[in-house]
Chain A
């Protein structure tokens, strides 16, 4: 059983640019959640995708958007990057049917906006 993977590991962007982060969910999982973790803080929920549709969203502006593909992998897109977007972006997969409720996290993508 493969774990959750994310790419790239690190990324440096300039304010105003756009970025795409990628996540491959764990085998057998159908739900992907994205979290933003600023330095020294706990992760904050961005949004969740279930069967290719957004299934809930946290307090993030529309310039944060996502996709989920038929193979349940996912992308997080951020437009018009701001300095405060610098953070560790975590993807977590889960299987929201049956008796599995825990989320399994990937290693994260460290985004630096200059």
Chain B
């Protein structure tokens, strides 16, 4: 079974500064990896995904993430954040197996707060 650890529950950062949100997963099987963003009182929006191939993945809104198989990490980065990036961020893995439900396994999330 998969599990995920988001190492920081809260990340405050000043506007236009760079940010990294850390994500480590633990799985005995191959996984697909995703980053989702959740704005207050809304559903989840897909930021980016890693399925295979290049380990550096670019997503929407200027975000990117790097898959590191040896460290089982998938950290999210943005070189310059905006006030509008303030939200909760999740990095759920899901298994590649076709034999069972392909659910996303969520951790507790990271609250990114961008300060003026």
Chain A interface (Cβ < 8 Å from any Cβ of B): 4, 6, 31, 33, 35, 41-45, 47-48, 55-58, 90, 92, 94, 96, 101-108, 110
Contacts and interface: CB of A to CB of B under 8 A. Distances in A.
B107 A42 contact: yes
B113 to A, nearest CB: 15
Interface stretch (B11-19, B61-69, B73-81, B94-102): B94-102
Query: Is the contact region of chain B dominated by helix, strand, or loop, or is it mixed?
Result: loop
9 contacts: A4-B43, A6-B43, A35-B106, A43-B44, A55-B101, A57-B101, A101-B32, A107-B43, A108-B42
B69 to A, nearest CB: 18
Query: Is the contact region of chain A dominated by helix, strand, or loop, or is it mixed?
Result: strand
B83 interface: no
B51 interface: yes
B20 to A, nearest CB: 19
A105 B44 contact: yes
Nearest to A6: B43
Interface of B: 32, 34, 36, 41-46, 49, 51, 90, 92, 94, 100-109
Given A33-B104, A42-B109, A105-B45, 19 more contacts: A35-B104, A35-B106, A42-B107, A45-B103, A45-B104, A47-B101, A48-B102, A55-B100, A55-B101, A56-B101, A57-B101, A90-B44, A92-B44, A92-B104, A96-B102, A101-B94, A102-B49, A105-B44, A106-B43
Contacts of A90: 43-44
B45 A42 contact: no
Contacts of B94: 101
Nearest to A40: B108
Contacts of A96: 102
A33 B49 contact: no
B106 A42 contact: yes
7 closest A-B pairs (Cβ-Cβ)? Answer: A56-B101, A42-B106, A45-B103, A105-B43, A105-B44, A48-B101, A107-B43
